[in-house]
Structure 1
Amino acid sequence: MERIYSVNGIELCAETFGDPADAAVLLIHGGSASMLWWPESLCARLASRGRYVIRYDQRDTGRSTTYPVGQPGYSMRDLAADAVGLLDALGIDRAHVVGQSMSGGIALTLGVDHPARVASVTFVSTTTDDDDLPPPSADMPRFDRPDITDREALAEYVVRMTAAEMGPLFDEDATRDLVRRDIARARDFEASLTNHYAMDFDGPVHGGFGDLSMPVLVIHGELDPLLPPAHGEAVHRAVSGSSYVVLPGAGHGLPEACWDAFVDAVVQHSAEEV
Protein backbone atom coordinates (compact mmCIF):
# COMPACT_ATOMS: atom_id res chain seq x y z
CA MET A 1 0.00 0.00 0.00
CA GLU A 2 1.24 3.49 -0.85
CA ARG A 3 2.23 5.82 1.99
CA ILE A 4 3.31 9.44 2.18
CA TYR A 5 6.56 10.10 4.04
CA SER A 6 7.88 13.47 5.23
CA VAL A 7 11.45 13.72 3.95
CA ASN A 8 13.71 16.78 3.83
CA GLY A 9 10.77 19.14 4.20
CA ILE A 10 8.80 17.61 1.32
CA GLU A 11 6.46 14.67 0.80
CA LEU A 12 7.45 11.45 -0.95
CA CYS A 13 4.97 8.74 -1.84
CA ALA A 14 6.43 5.23 -1.57
CA GLU A 15 5.36 1.60 -1.59
CA THR A 16 7.15 -1.50 -0.32
CA PHE A 17 6.96 -5.16 -1.25
CA GLY A 18 8.14 -8.22 0.68
CA ASP A 19 9.64 -8.83 4.09
CA PRO A 20 11.44 -5.89 5.78
CA ALA A 21 13.90 -8.43 7.20
CA ASP A 22 15.18 -9.19 3.68
CA ALA A 23 17.88 -7.21 1.87
CA ALA A 24 16.44 -3.89 0.72
CA VAL A 25 16.39 -2.95 -2.97
CA LEU A 26 15.63 0.72 -3.68
CA LEU A 27 14.27 1.28 -7.19
CA ILE A 28 14.73 4.80 -8.62
CA HIS A 29 13.21 5.40 -12.04
CA GLY A 30 14.29 7.94 -14.63
CA GLY A 31 13.24 11.41 -15.69
CA SER A 32 9.51 12.20 -15.45
CA ALA A 33 8.74 8.65 -14.33
CA SER A 34 6.67 7.94 -11.24
CA MET A 35 7.06 4.72 -9.30
CA LEU A 36 4.39 3.11 -11.52
CA TRP A 37 7.10 2.66 -14.15
CA TRP A 38 8.48 -0.04 -11.85
CA PRO A 39 5.37 -2.20 -12.38
CA GLU A 40 3.80 -3.77 -9.31
CA SER A 41 4.15 -7.25 -10.80
CA LEU A 42 7.88 -6.71 -11.40
CA CYS A 43 8.35 -5.50 -7.81
CA ALA A 44 6.40 -8.51 -6.50
CA ARG A 45 8.53 -10.86 -8.61
CA LEU A 46 11.71 -9.39 -7.13
CA ALA A 47 10.25 -9.53 -3.60
CA SER A 48 9.38 -13.21 -4.09
CA ARG A 49 13.10 -13.86 -4.49
CA GLY A 50 13.85 -12.67 -0.98
CA ARG A 51 14.22 -8.92 -1.41
CA TYR A 52 12.49 -6.04 0.35
CA VAL A 53 11.59 -3.83 -2.60
CA ILE A 54 10.97 -0.09 -2.37
CA ARG A 55 9.58 2.02 -5.20
CA TYR A 56 8.69 5.70 -4.85
CA ASP A 57 7.64 8.88 -6.60
CA GLN A 58 10.50 11.35 -6.80
CA ARG A 59 9.74 15.04 -6.52
CA ASP A 60 7.54 16.24 -9.38
CA THR A 61 6.19 12.77 -10.12
CA GLY A 62 3.12 10.88 -8.93
CA ARG A 63 1.84 11.84 -5.50
CA SER A 64 5.04 13.42 -4.21
CA THR A 65 5.67 17.16 -3.80
CA THR A 66 5.51 19.17 -7.01
CA TYR A 67 6.84 22.58 -8.04
CA PRO A 68 5.69 25.21 -10.54
CA VAL A 69 6.22 24.09 -14.12
CA GLY A 70 9.73 24.99 -15.23
CA GLN A 71 10.81 25.97 -11.71
CA PRO A 72 12.05 22.85 -9.89
CA GLY A 73 13.18 23.79 -6.40
CA TYR A 74 15.86 21.12 -6.26
CA SER A 75 18.90 19.61 -7.98
CA MET A 76 20.02 16.04 -8.58
CA ARG A 77 21.93 16.08 -5.27
CA ASP A 78 18.66 16.93 -3.52
CA LEU A 79 17.00 13.93 -5.17
CA ALA A 80 19.83 11.75 -3.88
CA ALA A 81 19.36 13.21 -0.40
CA ASP A 82 15.65 12.35 -0.70
CA ALA A 83 16.56 8.70 -1.27
CA VAL A 84 18.66 8.71 1.90
CA GLY A 85 15.82 10.39 3.79
CA LEU A 86 13.37 7.77 2.57
CA LEU A 87 15.66 5.00 3.81
CA ASP A 88 15.75 6.81 7.17
CA ALA A 89 11.95 7.01 7.25
CA LEU A 90 11.73 3.29 6.52
CA GLY A 91 14.34 2.41 9.14
CA ILE A 92 16.76 0.97 6.59
CA ASP A 93 20.50 1.33 7.20
CA ARG A 94 21.75 0.17 3.78
CA ALA A 95 20.08 -0.70 0.48
CA HIS A 96 20.94 -2.09 -2.91
CA VAL A 97 20.28 0.91 -5.18
CA VAL A 98 18.94 0.53 -8.73
CA GLY A 99 19.03 3.69 -10.86
CA GLN A 100 17.27 3.79 -14.25
CA SER A 101 18.29 6.18 -17.06
CA MET A 102 18.54 9.76 -15.65
CA SER A 103 18.49 8.34 -12.15
CA GLY A 104 21.76 6.59 -12.82
CA GLY A 105 23.13 9.98 -11.80
CA ILE A 106 21.21 9.75 -8.52
CA ALA A 107 22.50 6.22 -7.92
CA LEU A 108 26.03 7.45 -8.63
CA THR A 109 25.66 10.33 -6.18
CA LEU A 110 24.32 7.97 -3.52
CA GLY A 111 27.21 5.56 -4.02
CA VAL A 112 29.92 8.23 -3.97
CA ASP A 113 28.56 10.72 -1.43
CA HIS A 114 26.61 8.33 0.84
CA PRO A 115 28.56 5.04 0.58
CA ALA A 116 27.64 3.87 4.09
CA ARG A 117 24.00 3.68 2.99
CA VAL A 118 24.60 1.77 -0.25
CA ALA A 119 25.26 -1.98 -0.33
CA SER A 120 25.52 -2.12 -4.13
CA VAL A 121 24.60 -0.09 -7.20
CA THR A 122 22.87 -1.23 -10.37
CA PHE A 123 22.84 1.13 -13.35
CA VAL A 124 20.04 0.45 -15.86
CA SER A 125 20.05 2.13 -19.29
CA THR A 126 22.27 4.98 -18.17
CA THR A 127 25.45 6.80 -19.20
CA THR A 128 28.68 8.47 -18.13
CA ASP A 129 27.80 11.47 -20.34
CA ASP A 130 31.27 11.39 -21.89
CA ASP A 131 31.55 13.73 -24.87
CA ASP A 132 32.66 10.99 -27.27
CA LEU A 133 29.60 8.78 -26.76
CA PRO A 134 27.11 8.42 -29.64
CA PRO A 135 23.95 10.55 -29.74
CA PRO A 136 20.45 9.08 -29.83
CA SER A 137 19.57 7.17 -32.97
CA ALA A 138 18.72 9.36 -35.95
CA ASP A 139 15.56 7.25 -36.30
CA MET A 140 14.17 8.57 -33.01
CA PRO A 141 11.04 10.60 -33.94
CA ARG A 142 10.13 13.94 -32.42
CA PHE A 143 6.65 14.65 -31.07
CA ASP A 144 4.89 17.94 -30.36
CA ARG A 145 3.42 18.06 -26.87
CA PRO A 146 -0.40 18.21 -27.00
CA ASP A 147 -2.79 20.34 -24.96
CA ILE A 148 -2.02 19.39 -21.36
CA THR A 149 -5.74 19.46 -20.50
CA ASP A 150 -6.58 16.79 -23.11
CA ARG A 151 -5.84 13.65 -21.11
CA GLU A 152 -6.32 11.18 -23.95
CA ALA A 153 -4.09 13.15 -26.31
CA LEU A 154 -1.55 13.50 -23.53
CA ALA A 155 -1.62 9.77 -22.86
CA GLU A 156 -1.08 9.00 -26.55
CA TYR A 157 1.85 11.43 -26.62
CA VAL A 158 3.60 9.60 -23.77
CA VAL A 159 2.76 6.20 -25.27
CA ARG A 160 4.26 7.18 -28.62
CA MET A 161 7.43 8.56 -26.97
CA THR A 162 7.78 5.37 -24.94
CA ALA A 163 7.30 3.22 -28.02
CA ALA A 164 10.11 5.07 -29.79
CA GLU A 165 12.46 4.42 -26.85
CA MET A 166 11.50 0.84 -26.02
CA GLY A 167 11.97 -0.76 -29.43
CA PRO A 168 10.55 -4.06 -30.68
CA LEU A 169 9.60 -5.45 -27.25
CA PHE A 170 7.25 -2.52 -26.55
CA ASP A 171 3.82 -3.52 -25.19
CA GLU A 172 1.39 -0.82 -26.36
CA ASP A 173 -1.68 -1.92 -24.39
CA ALA A 174 0.18 -2.30 -21.09
CA THR A 175 1.94 1.04 -21.58
CA ARG A 176 -1.28 2.88 -22.41
CA ASP A 177 -2.90 1.51 -19.24
CA LEU A 178 0.14 2.53 -17.18
CA VAL A 179 0.23 6.05 -18.64
CA ARG A 180 -3.46 6.64 -18.03
CA ARG A 181 -3.04 5.59 -14.39
CA ASP A 182 0.06 7.76 -14.11
CA ILE A 183 -1.78 10.84 -15.37
CA ALA A 184 -4.77 10.18 -13.12
CA ARG A 185 -2.74 9.93 -9.89
CA ALA A 186 -0.25 12.73 -10.55
CA ARG A 187 -0.46 15.94 -8.54
CA ASP A 188 0.69 17.87 -11.64
CA PHE A 189 1.49 15.82 -14.74
CA GLU A 190 2.78 18.86 -16.63
CA ALA A 191 5.37 19.35 -13.89
CA SER A 192 6.20 15.64 -14.20
CA LEU A 193 6.92 16.04 -17.90
CA THR A 194 8.97 19.20 -17.47
CA ASN A 195 10.77 19.77 -14.21
CA HIS A 196 13.29 16.94 -14.06
CA TYR A 197 14.79 18.29 -17.27
CA ALA A 198 14.93 21.85 -15.90
CA MET A 199 16.81 21.05 -12.69
CA ASP A 200 20.52 21.47 -12.02
CA PHE A 201 22.20 18.17 -12.94
CA ASP A 202 24.93 18.57 -10.34
CA GLY A 203 26.88 15.38 -9.71
CA PRO A 204 28.52 13.83 -6.67
CA VAL A 205 30.65 16.01 -4.45
CA HIS A 206 33.27 13.37 -3.72
CA GLY A 207 34.14 11.88 -7.11
CA GLY A 208 32.69 9.89 -9.98
CA PHE A 209 32.16 6.39 -11.33
CA GLY A 210 35.72 5.34 -10.56
CA ASP A 211 35.23 6.17 -6.88
CA LEU A 212 32.41 3.70 -6.24
CA SER A 213 33.58 1.28 -3.56
CA MET A 214 30.64 -1.13 -3.53
CA PRO A 215 29.74 -3.85 -6.08
CA VAL A 216 28.37 -2.40 -9.32
CA LEU A 217 26.18 -3.99 -11.98
CA VAL A 218 25.47 -2.38 -15.35
CA ILE A 219 22.36 -3.46 -17.32
CA HIS A 220 21.72 -2.10 -20.80
CA GLY A 221 19.37 -2.85 -23.68
CA GLU A 222 20.93 -4.34 -26.79
CA LEU A 223 18.91 -1.99 -29.03
CA ASP A 224 18.68 1.16 -26.88
CA PRO A 225 18.06 4.03 -29.35
CA LEU A 226 18.15 6.82 -26.76
CA LEU A 227 21.42 5.84 -25.08
CA PRO A 228 23.02 3.39 -27.52
CA PRO A 229 24.89 0.43 -25.98
CA ALA A 230 28.20 2.31 -26.03
CA HIS A 231 26.83 4.30 -23.08
CA GLY A 232 26.36 1.19 -20.96
CA GLU A 233 29.78 -0.08 -22.03
CA ALA A 234 31.29 3.24 -20.92
CA VAL A 235 29.73 2.89 -17.45
CA HIS A 236 31.07 -0.68 -17.25
CA ARG A 237 34.59 0.46 -18.20
CA ALA A 238 34.48 3.37 -15.76
CA VAL A 239 33.83 1.13 -12.74
CA SER A 240 36.63 -1.35 -12.19
CA GLY A 241 35.33 -4.83 -11.41
CA SER A 242 31.73 -4.07 -12.41
CA SER A 243 29.49 -6.71 -13.96
CA TYR A 244 27.71 -6.11 -17.28
CA VAL A 245 24.44 -7.60 -18.53
CA VAL A 246 22.99 -6.95 -21.98
CA LEU A 247 19.24 -7.42 -22.40
CA PRO A 248 18.68 -9.00 -25.85
CA GLY A 249 16.11 -7.21 -27.97
CA ALA A 250 15.53 -4.49 -25.38
CA GLY A 251 15.59 -0.80 -26.08
CA HIS A 252 15.65 1.93 -23.44
CA GLY A 253 13.97 0.41 -20.41
CA LEU A 254 12.78 -2.92 -19.08
CA PRO A 255 10.17 -4.64 -21.26
CA GLU A 256 8.31 -7.47 -19.58
CA ALA A 257 10.08 -9.99 -21.81
CA CYS A 258 13.31 -9.07 -19.97
CA TRP A 259 11.98 -9.11 -16.40
CA ASP A 260 13.29 -12.59 -15.61
CA ALA A 261 16.78 -11.63 -16.78
CA PHE A 262 16.62 -8.38 -14.80
CA VAL A 263 15.38 -10.04 -11.62
CA ASP A 264 17.96 -12.83 -11.88
CA ALA A 265 20.75 -10.29 -12.31
CA VAL A 266 19.62 -8.05 -9.43
CA VAL A 267 19.06 -11.00 -7.07
CA GLN A 268 22.51 -12.37 -7.81
CA HIS A 269 24.10 -8.93 -7.49
CA SER A 270 22.37 -8.23 -4.16
CA ALA A 271 23.13 -11.63 -2.63
CA GLU A 272 25.70 -10.12 -0.26
CA GLU A 273 24.32 -9.62 3.24
CA VAL A 274 23.48 -6.01 4.07
Structure 2
Amino acid sequence: MTLRAPANGIELAYDTFGSPEGRPLLLIMGLAAQMIHWDEEFCELLADRGHHVIRFDNRDVGESTHLHEAGTPSFDGRAPYLVEDMADDAAGLLDALGLESAHVAGASMGGMITQALAVRHPHRVRSLTSIMSTPSPQAAPPTEAAMAALMAPPASDRETAVEQALKTWKVIGSPGYPFDAERTARLAGLSYDRAHDPAGVARQLAAIMASPDRAPGLKELSVPALVLHGEEDQLVPVSGGIATADAIPGAKLITYPGMGHDLPRPLWPELVSMISDHTAAAER
Protein backbone atom coordinates (compact mmCIF):
# COMPACT_ATOMS: atom_id res chain seq x y z
CA MET A 1 0.00 0.00 0.00
CA THR A 2 1.34 3.42 -0.97
CA LEU A 3 1.67 5.83 1.93
CA ARG A 4 2.45 9.55 1.96
CA ALA A 5 4.59 11.70 4.20
CA PRO A 6 5.48 15.41 4.39
CA ALA A 7 9.14 16.04 3.59
CA ASN A 8 11.05 19.27 2.95
CA GLY A 9 7.93 21.21 2.08
CA ILE A 10 6.53 18.64 -0.35
CA GLU A 11 4.85 15.23 -0.04
CA LEU A 12 6.56 11.94 -0.86
CA ALA A 13 4.82 8.68 -1.73
CA TYR A 14 6.48 5.61 -0.22
CA ASP A 15 6.00 2.04 0.89
CA THR A 16 7.93 -0.42 3.04
CA PHE A 17 8.95 -4.08 3.20
CA GLY A 18 10.05 -6.21 6.14
CA SER A 19 9.94 -5.77 9.88
CA PRO A 20 10.20 -2.25 11.31
CA GLU A 21 12.74 -3.79 13.70
CA GLY A 22 15.10 -4.54 10.81
CA ARG A 23 18.03 -2.44 9.64
CA PRO A 24 16.43 0.61 7.96
CA LEU A 25 17.38 0.76 4.28
CA LEU A 26 16.24 3.72 2.18
CA LEU A 27 16.22 3.01 -1.58
CA ILE A 28 16.44 5.98 -3.96
CA MET A 29 15.72 5.58 -7.67
CA GLY A 30 17.09 7.46 -10.67
CA LEU A 31 16.04 9.93 -13.34
CA ALA A 32 12.40 9.48 -14.41
CA ALA A 33 12.26 6.19 -12.50
CA GLN A 34 9.51 5.67 -9.94
CA MET A 35 9.84 3.65 -6.78
CA ILE A 36 8.32 0.65 -8.57
CA HIS A 37 11.61 0.29 -10.44
CA TRP A 38 12.89 -1.18 -7.18
CA ASP A 39 11.01 -4.43 -7.89
CA GLU A 40 8.92 -5.81 -5.06
CA GLU A 41 10.80 -9.10 -5.33
CA PHE A 42 14.14 -7.28 -5.01
CA CYS A 43 12.84 -5.41 -1.95
CA GLU A 44 11.56 -8.65 -0.42
CA LEU A 45 14.99 -10.24 -0.90
CA LEU A 46 16.52 -7.33 1.01
CA ALA A 47 13.85 -7.63 3.71
CA ASP A 48 14.64 -11.33 4.03
CA ARG A 49 18.23 -10.33 4.80
CA GLY A 50 17.15 -8.31 7.84
CA HIS A 51 16.27 -4.91 6.38
CA HIS A 52 13.28 -2.66 6.88
CA VAL A 53 13.16 -1.47 3.27
CA ILE A 54 11.73 1.94 2.35
CA ARG A 55 11.30 2.92 -1.29
CA PHE A 56 9.78 6.20 -2.46
CA ASP A 57 8.96 8.35 -5.47
CA ASN A 58 11.30 11.30 -5.86
CA ARG A 59 9.75 14.72 -6.39
CA ASP A 60 8.32 15.20 -9.89
CA VAL A 61 7.69 11.49 -10.58
CA GLY A 62 5.08 8.95 -9.54
CA GLU A 63 2.70 9.87 -6.76
CA SER A 64 4.95 12.37 -4.97
CA THR A 65 4.57 16.13 -5.37
CA HIS A 66 5.03 17.42 -8.92
CA LEU A 67 6.30 21.00 -9.15
CA HIS A 68 4.10 21.94 -12.10
CA GLU A 69 4.42 25.63 -11.34
CA ALA A 70 8.16 25.44 -12.15
CA GLY A 71 7.39 24.66 -15.80
CA THR A 72 9.82 23.10 -18.25
CA PRO A 73 13.48 24.06 -17.69
CA SER A 74 15.49 25.76 -20.43
CA PHE A 75 18.73 23.85 -19.66
CA ASP A 76 20.72 27.08 -19.52
CA GLY A 77 22.71 26.06 -16.45
CA ARG A 78 19.89 26.93 -14.08
CA ALA A 79 17.33 24.58 -12.58
CA PRO A 80 14.21 24.87 -10.39
CA TYR A 81 16.02 22.71 -7.81
CA LEU A 82 19.23 20.72 -7.38
CA VAL A 83 20.18 17.18 -6.43
CA GLU A 84 20.91 18.65 -2.99
CA ASP A 85 17.25 19.62 -2.61
CA MET A 86 16.27 16.06 -3.44
CA ALA A 87 18.70 14.87 -0.76
CA ASP A 88 16.91 17.14 1.69
CA ASP A 89 13.65 15.48 0.60
CA ALA A 90 15.13 12.11 1.61
CA ALA A 91 16.22 13.51 4.97
CA GLY A 92 12.71 14.86 5.44
CA LEU A 93 11.26 11.42 4.77
CA LEU A 94 13.52 9.96 7.47
CA ASP A 95 12.20 12.66 9.82
CA ALA A 96 8.60 11.77 8.97
CA LEU A 97 9.30 8.09 9.61
CA GLY A 98 10.94 8.83 12.95
CA LEU A 99 14.34 7.54 11.78
CA GLU A 100 17.41 9.32 13.09
CA SER A 101 19.52 7.50 10.51
CA ALA A 102 19.34 4.74 7.88
CA HIS A 103 21.41 2.79 5.43
CA VAL A 104 20.93 4.43 2.03
CA ALA A 105 21.29 2.91 -1.44
CA GLY A 106 20.70 4.83 -4.64
CA ALA A 107 20.80 3.96 -8.33
CA SER A 108 21.86 6.40 -11.06
CA MET A 109 20.44 9.83 -10.08
CA GLY A 110 19.43 8.07 -6.88
CA GLY A 111 23.11 7.43 -6.26
CA MET A 112 23.76 11.14 -6.73
CA ILE A 113 21.03 11.90 -4.19
CA THR A 114 22.53 9.34 -1.82
CA GLN A 115 25.95 10.97 -2.15
CA ALA A 116 24.49 14.43 -1.53
CA LEU A 117 22.54 13.14 1.48
CA ALA A 118 25.75 11.76 3.02
CA VAL A 119 27.58 15.04 2.37
CA ARG A 120 24.80 17.32 3.66
CA HIS A 121 23.50 15.11 6.48
CA PRO A 122 26.33 12.72 7.39
CA HIS A 123 24.77 11.78 10.74
CA ARG A 124 21.67 10.46 8.91
CA VAL A 125 23.57 7.89 6.81
CA ARG A 126 24.72 4.68 8.49
CA SER A 127 26.15 3.33 5.25
CA LEU A 128 26.14 4.44 1.62
CA THR A 129 25.67 2.27 -1.47
CA SER A 130 26.06 4.10 -4.78
CA ILE A 131 24.91 2.08 -7.80
CA MET A 132 25.67 3.01 -11.45
CA SER A 133 26.20 6.64 -10.43
CA THR A 134 28.82 9.40 -10.46
CA PRO A 135 29.92 12.48 -8.48
CA SER A 136 29.29 14.63 -11.58
CA PRO A 137 28.15 14.19 -15.20
CA GLN A 138 31.60 15.30 -16.34
CA ALA A 139 33.18 12.25 -14.69
CA ALA A 140 31.06 9.84 -16.75
CA PRO A 141 29.63 11.36 -19.96
CA PRO A 142 27.11 9.12 -21.73
CA THR A 143 27.73 7.58 -25.13
CA GLU A 144 26.07 9.18 -28.14
CA ALA A 145 23.58 6.32 -28.37
CA ALA A 146 22.63 6.61 -24.71
CA MET A 147 22.25 10.38 -24.94
CA ALA A 148 20.03 10.03 -28.01
CA ALA A 149 17.82 7.57 -26.12
CA LEU A 150 17.68 9.87 -23.09
CA MET A 151 16.74 12.92 -25.14
CA ALA A 152 14.06 11.27 -27.30
CA PRO A 153 10.82 13.29 -27.55
CA PRO A 154 8.42 12.41 -24.71
CA ALA A 155 5.63 9.97 -25.40
CA SER A 156 2.12 11.36 -25.82
CA ASP A 157 0.20 8.18 -24.99
CA ARG A 158 0.56 4.95 -23.03
CA GLU A 159 1.33 2.71 -26.00
CA THR A 160 4.07 5.02 -27.22
CA ALA A 161 5.52 5.26 -23.71
CA VAL A 162 5.83 1.48 -23.56
CA GLU A 163 7.40 1.30 -27.03
CA GLN A 164 9.84 4.07 -26.13
CA ALA A 165 10.85 2.32 -22.90
CA LEU A 166 11.57 -0.88 -24.79
CA LYS A 167 13.78 1.00 -27.25
CA THR A 168 15.59 2.92 -24.51
CA TRP A 169 16.38 -0.06 -22.30
CA LYS A 170 17.61 -2.07 -25.28
CA VAL A 171 20.22 0.67 -25.69
CA ILE A 172 21.23 1.32 -22.07
CA GLY A 173 20.43 -2.05 -20.48
CA SER A 174 22.77 -4.94 -19.78
CA PRO A 175 24.12 -6.57 -22.97
CA GLY A 176 25.51 -9.49 -20.99
CA TYR A 177 22.06 -10.57 -19.79
CA PRO A 178 18.78 -11.46 -21.54
CA PHE A 179 16.57 -8.45 -22.21
CA ASP A 180 13.41 -8.73 -20.10
CA ALA A 181 10.90 -7.16 -22.47
CA GLU A 182 7.89 -8.26 -20.39
CA ARG A 183 9.15 -6.58 -17.22
CA THR A 184 10.22 -3.45 -19.11
CA ALA A 185 6.84 -3.07 -20.78
CA ARG A 186 4.96 -3.75 -17.56
CA LEU A 187 6.92 -1.14 -15.60
CA ALA A 188 6.59 1.42 -18.40
CA GLY A 189 2.83 0.97 -18.52
CA LEU A 190 2.44 1.10 -14.76
CA SER A 191 4.67 4.19 -14.57
CA TYR A 192 2.51 5.90 -17.21
CA ASP A 193 -0.62 5.04 -15.24
CA ARG A 194 0.80 6.33 -11.94
CA ALA A 195 2.01 9.65 -13.42
CA HIS A 196 3.12 10.77 -16.87
CA ASP A 197 4.91 14.11 -16.51
CA PRO A 198 7.65 14.82 -19.09
CA ALA A 199 8.21 18.31 -17.67
CA GLY A 200 8.87 16.78 -14.25
CA VAL A 201 11.48 14.45 -15.73
CA ALA A 202 13.05 17.44 -17.49
CA ARG A 203 13.28 19.26 -14.17
CA GLN A 204 15.06 16.25 -12.65
CA LEU A 205 17.51 16.19 -15.58
CA ALA A 206 18.13 19.92 -15.16
CA ALA A 207 18.90 19.29 -11.48
CA ILE A 208 21.53 16.72 -12.42
CA MET A 209 23.15 19.07 -14.92
CA ALA A 210 23.09 22.15 -12.65
CA SER A 211 24.28 20.50 -9.42
CA PRO A 212 27.90 20.98 -8.28
CA ASP A 213 30.51 18.24 -8.32
CA ARG A 214 30.07 16.17 -5.16
CA ALA A 215 33.65 14.84 -5.11
CA PRO A 216 35.05 17.51 -2.76
CA GLY A 217 32.33 16.76 -0.20
CA LEU A 218 32.69 13.00 -0.64
CA LYS A 219 36.38 13.25 0.24
CA GLU A 220 35.38 14.43 3.73
CA LEU A 221 33.11 11.48 4.49
CA SER A 222 33.80 8.78 7.05
CA VAL A 223 30.76 6.64 6.20
CA PRO A 224 31.13 2.99 5.09
CA ALA A 225 30.68 3.14 1.32
CA LEU A 226 30.01 0.52 -1.34
CA VAL A 227 30.10 1.38 -5.05
CA LEU A 228 28.50 -0.99 -7.58
CA HIS A 229 28.70 -0.41 -11.33
CA GLY A 230 28.21 -2.21 -14.63
CA GLU A 231 31.20 -2.39 -16.93
CA GLU A 232 28.94 -2.00 -20.00
CA ASP A 233 27.00 1.04 -18.78
CA GLN A 234 26.46 3.46 -21.66
CA LEU A 235 24.42 6.09 -19.78
CA VAL A 236 26.75 6.49 -16.78
CA PRO A 237 29.98 4.74 -17.83
CA VAL A 238 32.02 2.84 -15.27
CA SER A 239 34.32 5.86 -14.94
CA GLY A 240 31.54 7.36 -12.78
CA GLY A 241 31.73 4.47 -10.33
CA ILE A 242 35.51 4.68 -10.26
CA ALA A 243 35.34 8.43 -9.60
CA THR A 244 32.84 7.84 -6.78
CA ALA A 245 35.00 5.20 -5.11
CA ASP A 246 38.13 7.29 -5.56
CA ALA A 247 36.45 10.25 -3.84
CA ILE A 248 35.12 8.44 -0.74
CA PRO A 249 37.82 7.36 1.73
CA GLY A 250 37.83 3.59 2.16
CA ALA A 251 35.07 2.95 -0.38
CA LYS A 252 34.78 -0.54 -1.86
CA LEU A 253 34.27 -0.69 -5.64
CA ILE A 254 32.78 -3.73 -7.40
CA THR A 255 32.16 -3.77 -11.16
CA TYR A 256 30.16 -6.33 -13.09
CA PRO A 257 30.98 -7.52 -16.63
CA GLY A 258 27.98 -7.47 -18.93
CA MET A 259 25.94 -5.15 -16.69
CA GLY A 260 24.66 -1.92 -18.19
CA HIS A 261 22.47 0.81 -16.72
CA ASP A 262 19.95 -1.44 -15.04
CA LEU A 263 19.67 -4.16 -12.41
CA PRO A 264 19.44 -7.44 -14.35
CA ARG A 265 17.40 -10.08 -12.52
CA PRO A 266 20.15 -12.76 -12.63
CA LEU A 267 22.36 -10.38 -10.61
CA TRP A 268 19.78 -9.73 -7.89
CA PRO A 269 21.10 -12.39 -5.48
CA GLU A 270 24.63 -11.02 -5.83
CA LEU A 271 23.56 -7.39 -5.47
CA VAL A 272 21.33 -8.16 -2.48
CA SER A 273 24.17 -10.11 -0.85
CA MET A 274 26.66 -7.28 -1.37
CA ILE A 275 24.29 -4.62 0.00
CA SER A 276 23.24 -6.81 2.94
CA ASP A 277 26.80 -7.73 3.93
CA HIS A 278 27.71 -4.03 3.68
CA THR A 279 24.88 -2.82 5.93
CA ALA A 280 25.45 -5.60 8.44
CA ALA A 281 29.15 -4.77 8.68
CA ALA A 282 28.32 -1.08 9.14
CA GLU A 283 26.01 -1.98 12.04
CA ARG A 284 28.86 -3.80 13.76
Question: Any gaps of 5 or more consecutive residues in structure 1?
Answer: none
More displaced 10-residue stretch of structure 1: 262-271 or 135-144: 135-144
- Range that drifts further, 167-176 or 85-94: 167-176
Distance 1:53 1:82 in 2: 17
User: Are residues 1:112 and 2:114 paired?
Assistant: no
Which residue of structure 2 lines up, in the alignment, with residue 176 of structure 1?
185
1:87 correspondence with 2:100: no
Structure 1 stretches of 4+ with a deviation exceeding 4 A read 203-207
Question: How high is the TM-score relative to the length of structure 1?
Answer: 0.91
The counterpart of 1:121, out of the listed 98, 112, 128, is 128
Distance 1:248 1:137 in 2: 18
Counting only pairs closer than 5 Å after superposition, residues 1-274 of structure 1 correspond to structure 2 as: 1-68=1-68, 69-70=71-72, 73-129=80-136, 131=138, 133=139, 135-140=141-146, 142-143=148-149, 144-148=152-156, 150-168=157-175, 169=177, 170-186=179-195, 188-199=196-207, 201-203=210-212, 207-271=216-280, 272-273=282-283
Structure 1: which amino acid aligns with 2:9?
G
Cα displacement (A) at 1:26: 0.5
Question: How far did residue 75 of structure 1 move?
Answer: 2.3
- CA–CA distance in 2 between the matches of 1:254 and 1:206? 25
55 and 225 in structure 1: CA distance in 2 versus 1, 3 angstrom threshold: same
Q: Please say if residues 124 and 253 of structure 1, whose CA atoms lie closer than 8 Å, have aligned partners that are also in contact.
A: no
Q: Is the 8 A contact 2:108 2:132 kept in 1?
A: yes
- Distance change in 2, residues 1:151/1:84 (3 Å): same
The count of aligned residue pairs is: 271
**Greater helix share, structure number:** 2
Contact 2:80 2:203 in 1 (8 A): no
SS in 2 for 1:199: helix
The C-alpha deviation readout for 1:48-84, integer Å capped at 9, x for no partner, is 1100101000101100010224157432221111101
Give the whole-Å Cα distance in 2 for the aligned partners of 1:103 and 1:121: 11
Please tell me whether the aligned partners of residues 106 and 131 of structure 2 are also in contact (alpha carbons under 8 angstroms): yes
Q: Flag the 1:128–1:207 CA change in 2: closer, same or farther, 3 A.
A: closer
Shift of the 91–265 alpha-carbon distance from structure 1 to 2, 3 Å rule, reads same
Who is 2:76 aligned against? none
Q: Specify every segment of 5 or more residues in structure 2 that has no aligned partner in the other structure, as ranges.
A: 74-78
Q: CA deviation at 1:147?
A: 4.6
Could you tell me whether the CA contact under 8 Å between 2:135 and 2:214 is conserved in 1?
Answer: no
Superposed CA deviations along residues 102-140 of structure 1, whole A, max 9, x for unmatched, are: 222211111111011100111100113374x45323454
CA gap 1:139/1:194 in 2 versus in 1, 3 angstroms: closer
Which stretch shifts more, 189-198 or 48-57? 189-198
Residue 109 of structure 1 contacts residue 203 of structure 1 at CA under 8 Å; is this kept in 2? no
- Provide the aligned C-alpha RMSD in A: 2.2
> What TM-score, normalized to structure 2?
0.88
1:158 is displaced (CA, Å) by: 2.2
* Superposed displacement of residue 189, structure 1: 2.6
